[in-house]
Amino acid sequence: MKSIALLGYGTVGSGVYEIIEKNLEDIKNKYNIDLKLNLILVSNLKKYSSHNEFNLFTNSIDVIKNASPDIVIEVMGGLHPAYEYVKYFLEHSKHVITANKDLIAEYGEELMNIAKHNNVSLMFEASVGGGIPILKPLKECLGGNNIESIAAIINGTTNFILSKMYDENMGYFEALKLAQDAGFAESDPTSDVEGLDASRKISILSSLAYSKKIDWKKIKTIGITDINLNDITNAKSKKHKIKLLAISKQNDGDVYLSVRPVFVHRSSSIGKIDNEFNGVVIDGDSVGNLMFYGKGAGKYPTASSIFGDLIAIMQNQVDNSNIKLSSDFNFIKNFPLKSKWVLRIDTNFPDETTSQILDEFSNLPITIDKSGDNKSLYITVSEFTEDELLEKIENLKNISVKVTKYFLIYE
Ligand SMILES: NC(=O)C1=CN([C@@H]2O[C@H](COP(=O)(O)OP(=O)(O)OC[C@H]3O[C@@H](n4cnc5c(N)ncnc54)[C@H](OP(=O)(O)O)[C@@H]3O)[C@@H](O)[C@H]2O)C=CC1
Ligand SMILES: N[C@@H](CC=O)C(=O)O
């Protein structure tokens, strides 16, 4: 008999509970293992008093420690006390499964080493891409590749919001509320909308892909809070969509990473990823381009990934690979490739500003569109690295033309 303790019974925890209950018989038949969910940790016990297995619930971690379960599933979220709890159980030779990217991005290396030392698994497939199996393929199936780049939509909440704004002209706050009601958003959705959640996830993916110690806090991270319906309309007029994209590239000793809203063509593979769906495009030197696609947030997709980790543990696939992450690389923050960009300029004098812009970009091919309400100009420029573009933006500022936002056109 394998006993399980579930830390957290919110969106994901309740999904894990249901999937375990539904599959108990199947697991017994397939793996000849009796599985028992013994205890569930929550903070507000009263909320669950009408649950038909209320006897499993506790608000005391000591009750769970004393029960000494074989496997602990951490779906509470946040850094503390999740870190202390996960560390405790690994140190006491318990397998741990977590969906907590905050925890893995911050303490993943340390916790993996503790797991290795104690010959147990720390598994975290659900921490990136929700229901998409991405970490196992990256670590195992793609082992014969030098991974050159990753481009990923890895936050369901922001992709959902941007899709609603694009498809239904819905306002930002209305769309955010829908994403929260559906259980996609973090308990504090700031991490979603400011891009921090995606930064943590791309740091996890890139650390595993490149065997490099990527500090998520160093990643240039731009969220979606200042994207307005004029921006969306401008993207539409160019047959593009706006997506929050996590981009990671390695080349020689350089690693470039960012999370930023970009314009992508609506018929490109990334442009077709909508709502809470996620997609991860990986470029490996042997395999070429691969795309992983599926629901990136929500109760059952996330629980599905956790259940996959549970099965791996039950099959004794103890994942305690030696994690050696190198810090020997240059961290590049600005997009290094010559690219196309869209610059938004908010102005009360569009005609005058247009001629100032044309002067500044003389001889260079640019296009200028006016927003429907005449308050913004959108300039499209090409063949600029981000460093070169920032220089141009500074020049415009010197002639009192203020670029309020700029987007990479990701091709
Ligand atoms: N929602 C999603 O789609 C996805 C979420 N994740 C990750 O999964 C984790 C859980 O997310 P989600 O289910 O949405 O979160 P919820 O906020 O819905 O649930 C959190 C649960 O943890 C319990 N909890 C929180 N803090 C404590 C504490 N200090 N002591 C005891 N219990 C605590 C809460 O108890 P109570 O009910 O009493 O308040 C609640 O049951 C997070 O790390 C999240 O980032 C990953 C992928 C997708
Ligand atoms: N809040 C996250 C949940 C899954 O990781 C998201 O929206 O992607």
CATH of the domain at 148: 3.30.360.10
CA angle 343, 393, 363 (to 5 degrees): 80
Residue at 138 is within a domain: no
Based on the domain organization, do 225 and 290 belong to the same domain? yes
**What tens digit of pLDDT does each residue of 5-45 get?**
999 999 999 999 999 999 989 988 988 888 999 999 999 99
CA distances from 236 to 43, 135, 167, 408 (A): 45, 34, 10, 15
Based on the domain organization, do 293 and 174 belong to the same domain? yes
The domain that contains 375 carries what CATH number? 3.30.70.600
Question: What is the residue-wise DSSP string for 292-342?
Answer: EEEE-SSHHHHHHHHHHHHHHHHTT---------B--SEEE-S--S-EEEE
Residue at 306 is within a domain: no
Q: Annotated catalytic residue: which of 201, 220, 243, 299? A: 201
β-pairing, 71-74 vs 95-98, is parallel
ipTM attached to this prediction: 0.99
CA distances from 346 to 228, 243, 403 (A): 12, 21, 7
Distance, CA of 225 to CA of 39 (rounded, Å): 39
Domain boundary among 76, 98, 127: 127
Query: Best of 124, 153, 197, 277 to mutate for ligand 2, by most ligand atoms within 8 A of CB?
Result: 197
**What tens digit of pLDDT does each residue of 248-287 get?**
999 989 999 999 999 999 999 999 999 999 999 999 999 9
pLDDT at position 322 is 63
Distance, CA of 73 to CA of 185 (rounded, Å): 20
Residue at 271 is within a domain: yes
Identify the domain containing residue 245 by its residue range. 144-297+326-332
Based on the domain organization, do 114 and 157 belong to the same domain? no
Domain boundary among 96, 127, 158: 127
Based on the domain organization, do 33 and 173 belong to the same domain? no
Considering its fold, how many domains does the chain have in total? 3
Residue at 213 is within a domain: yes
Distance, CA of 195 to CA of 154 (rounded, Å): 10
**What tens digit of pLDDT does each residue of 146-204 get?**
999 999 999 999 999 999 999 999 999 999 999 999 999 999 999 999 999 999 999 99
Domain boundary among 72, 92, 127: 127
The domain that contains 113 carries what CATH number? 3.40.50.720
Based on the domain organization, do 292 and 153 belong to the same domain? yes
Residue at 254 is within a domain: yes
Based on the domain organization, do 148 and 281 belong to the same domain? yes
Distance, CA of 141 to CA of 238 (rounded, Å): 38
pLDDT at position 271 is 98
Based on the domain organization, do 392 and 346 belong to the same domain? yes
Name the binding residues: 7-14, 101, 186
Based on the domain organization, do 256 and 290 belong to the same domain? yes
CA distances from 263 to 92, 244, 363 (A): 48, 9, 25
Return the bridge partners of 265, or none. Answer: 240
Q: By C-alpha distance, which of 195, 196, 192 is closest to 182?
A: 192
Residue at 191 is within a domain: yes
**What tens digit of pLDDT does each residue of 289-343 get?**
999 999 999 999 999 999 999 999 988 876 666 668 899 999 999 999 999 999 9
Task: Give the ligand 1 atom nearest the CA of 78.
Answer: 43
Based on the domain organization, do 232 and 109 belong to the same domain? no
Query: Best of 76, 135, 304 to mutate for ligand 1, by most ligand atoms within 8 A of CB?
Result: 76
pLDDT at position 374 is 87
High-pLDDT (> 70) share of the chain, %: 99
Residue at 176 is within a domain: yes
Residue at 259 is within a domain: yes
Based on the domain organization, do 149 and 271 belong to the same domain? yes
pLDDT at position 241 is 98
